[in-house]
Structure 1
Amino acid sequence: MTYTTFTYAVSDHIAHIELCRPEALNTMTRAFWDELPAAFAEIDSNPEIRAVVISSTGRHFTAGLDLNWAGGTEALAHPDLGRARERLRRHVKHMQETFNAVDRCRVPVIAAVHGGCVGGGVDFITACDIRVASKDAFFTIQEVNIAIVADVGTLQRIPYLLPQGLVRELAYTGRRWPAAEALRFGFVNSLHETREDAIAAAFAMAREIASKSPLAIAGIKQVLNAGRDLTIDQGLEYVAVWNAAMLQGEDMRKAILAQMRKETASFDNLAA
């Protein structure tokens, strides 16, 4: 599939999605909301891929939702108010599914952020597994500044990434919070001098992940994601069942043998 809002490439078991509308500050148009889940469906169906890197171009990672498109409500209008509201709900759910596709991706997703990451950009990167940033990066939960409640994932995911008091401050005020503060609270894993350095760090991490057993990595992500909705006892039961089912292949034997011999193991891809 050809994408218009980002480029897509796969090399050495790593998929790279790079937002490519710098002249429009990589705002999220109707095409973006349709194309991103299609790209992640392509990733999930490709057994060669073991990690994903998300990056961007231009001055900013993204300025978030394209307000010109979002403001065009005529397509959602209906003479009956109830039907209009039901249509709007389905519209929001469609947008939510765009970032759910990132969250559910069976391989880890790493975001390399530079410049501004505003509004929908925060929704996007909170759905990723790992975030790295350049020193000029900043983040804004922008929705309150346009008098709406963030509704495509930030408020649901960011409480797992930041302290509750800070989450509420950022959501209530819509203030800009810089990369250094994001690092201090663990929202980003590392800071780098430039955009290029951040992308290089993301790829280095992706290569390290890609060198591990893809079956183990998929299991780790699945268990961590499931654990957000489970008690500790339920999470322990889940991982016990997962390992009882999945530890039947060659990966563990290969990994242990490689460790003993101080070699690098080579693992088969996941099934398509």
Structure 2
Amino acid sequence: MYRLLYFAVVTIAMVIAQPKQSKDDSTDPVPYAPFQASFRSVPGLIHVCSGSILSGRWILTAAHCVQGRTVTTTKIVVGSYTINPQGVEYDPAEFHINPNFDPLFYEHDIALVRTATDIVLNDDVRVITLPSSVAPAGELVVLTGWRSDIAEETPNDMHMARKVTLDNDECETIHKEGDSHVEIHVTNVCARPRMTGCYCIIDAGAPLATEELELVGVFSISAGCGRGLPAAYTRVQSYRSWIATVTGL
């Protein structure tokens, strides 16, 4: 009940803010997504990926976001809905890339990051709930993030896009017909815009959440928003055992 109430409050705030919107109202502002973290490269604090706060010490992201990176060249910002950091910075202590990650085909594209100190949780910094079941095709979901392949620059304000999940076989067929390089794996979940004109987000590691704020997927790979092909997300439910083994959650 609390999660539903919180989502309703955030939705009302989005409507009140009213930034640039498409005619079908599928582009929305995000006053904040309190469960979202921003991974920044050092120096410069340049946003490179997003993540989801699971607890006071653990963040979930895409494996390719941290592959080749070190804890000394990465900062994590939470509590900010803008690229210009307004939140709090934390140092990562450990990167745990799924041992089966395939960087060529983006299979098992998931990683856990432990922070060096406890993340202070408050109204602007919250955890997101891990899924209790596999998300079915046709479920309404929300993607939040910054990076877009149709924008000249990364927007300062976070955006959201309403999407709907679809069956993996259908997703694979769509990509093959679109001559896409993306391979769909059993551990992926696909989602496409709920309506035309939906804001284009390709923010690796970004959370794909249900309207009840359960974490369905982690943004993994896209063939390009402009082509109208559904993006592939790492299905979080497929990794609950691994997450529990590493984090105890």
Structure with larger Rg: 1
More helix, by proportion: 1
Establish whether TM, by shorter chain, passes 0.5. no
More strand, by proportion: 2
Q: Which has the higher contact order (CA 8 A, sep 6+)?
A: 2
Normalised-by-shorter TM-score class: under 0.3
TM-score, normalised by the number of residues in structure 1: 0.25
TM-score, normalised by the number of residues in structure 2: 0.26
